[in-house]
């Protein structure tokens, strides 16, 4: 397995995604070491106690600190960049801080990886950076562009950069589901718009998709999984069926529907059985996926956008309850 006996660094490694990724890697891929790079010493201590595994290394550091990143990446084979300011209201209220972490932090991760010879770098992105309407989405869009374009700097070195772009993770920190569960106890849940839709996947699905993409990446791709949509009001009814639903209107920077692939991107996107690959438009790209008749199995995507409102796959209330273990 390509990840076996590798040294892997995860930025934002104490978050929901980083913790789940660490568990799967330790249990199934036998890495030589996993370096957890994050700012929170308490979360690192809790994670160390939970796993109690000698292959884990905990490094206090911020992605804003390029020198610390260089030291942390020394000898690393694979980097998964998951650190970000993710809360939309937080980014709107603290715009400079969102830029410093999400954009400048991306530059620092790229520079440190290039300087230390990291072989593979995968950045975790979001549906909110496709036609962004808020600062969080805008910063993640810039970060995504930076990671894809980083491939022009590798030259003859065996270093590649790619991204994964997916939707909301069921039950993760900041997810609306824990909020609905909490509100449900009071007898009323708040939904911004009755027509609002979102893409959904489980944390386990997100982690395994990232691992699969780490193994198949050639550099410069944006990997997009095929995942179901669901109306937010249906989610509220599913997790808090006894509660009343109050419609409160769209918040600042909030979309009615999300998009994972724009119509413009569809022109250079390949479709596979359970995922898409948005191929880059730059000169560094080799033959790879674009060569018709190759062994990749992908076919050109039909022109059009892939949005949470025009999706062909919809999650039912019972299916959501099953995923939540209710």
Distance, CA of 114 to CA of 187 (rounded, Å): 53
Distance, CA of 157 to CA of 323 (rounded, Å): 43
Of 105, 104, 109, 107, whose CA–CA distance to 120 is shortest? 109
Q: Which of 128, 140, 231, 255 is catalytic?
A: 128
Burial of 212 (0-12, 13-18, 19+ CB in 10 A): middle
Residue 265 neighbours by CB under 8 Å, 6+ apart? 130, 278
What are the structure tokens assigned to 95, written together? Answer: 């715009």
What are the structure tokens assigned to 37, written together? Answer: 């790079």
What are the structure tokens assigned to 159, written together? Answer: 């270093």
Distance, CA of 171 to CA of 143 (rounded, Å): 25
- Clarify whether 128 is annotated catalytic: yes
Active-site residue set: 128
């Amino acid at each position: 397995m390509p990840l076996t006996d590798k040294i892997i660094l995860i930025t934002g490694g104490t978050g929901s995604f980083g913790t789940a990724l660490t568990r799967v890697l330790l249990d199934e891929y036998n890495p030589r070491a996993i370096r957890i790079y994050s700012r929170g010493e308490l979360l690192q201590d809790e994670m160390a106690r939970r796993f109690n595994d000698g292959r884990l290394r905990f490094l206090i550091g911020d992605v804003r600190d390029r020198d610390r990143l260089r030291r942390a990446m020394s000898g690393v084979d694979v980097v998964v960049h998951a650190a970000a300011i993710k809360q939309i209201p937080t980014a709107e209220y603290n715009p400079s801080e969102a830029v410093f972490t999400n954009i400048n932090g991306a530059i620092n991760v790229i520079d440190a990886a290039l300087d230390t010879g990291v072989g593979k770098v995968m950045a975790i992105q979001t549906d909110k950076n496709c036609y962004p309407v808020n600062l969080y989405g805008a910063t993640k869009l810039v970060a995504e562009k930076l990671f894809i374009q980083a491939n022009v700097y590798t030259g003859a070195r065996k270093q590649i950069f790619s991204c994964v772009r997916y939707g909301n993770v069921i039950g993760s920190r900041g997810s609306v589901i824990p909020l609905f569960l909490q509100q449900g106890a009071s007898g009323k849940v708040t939904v911004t718009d009755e027509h609002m839709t979102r893409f959904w996947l489980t944390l386990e699905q997100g982690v395994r998709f990232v691992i699969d993409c780490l193994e198949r990446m050639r550099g410069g791709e944006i990997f997009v999984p095929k995942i179901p949509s669901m109306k937010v009001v249906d989610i509220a009814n599913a997790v808090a069926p006894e509660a009343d639903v109050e419609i409160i209107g769209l918040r600042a920077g909030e979309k009615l529907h999300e998009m994972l692939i724009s119509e413009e991107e569809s022109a250079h996107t390949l479709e596979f059985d359970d995922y898409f690959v948005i191929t880059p438009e730059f000169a560094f790209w080799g033959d790879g996926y674009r060569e018709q008749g190759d062994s990749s199995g992908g076919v050109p995507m039909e022109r059009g956008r892939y949005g949470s409102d025009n999706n062909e796959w919809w999650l039912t209330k019972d299916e959501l309850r099953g995923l939540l273990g209710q």
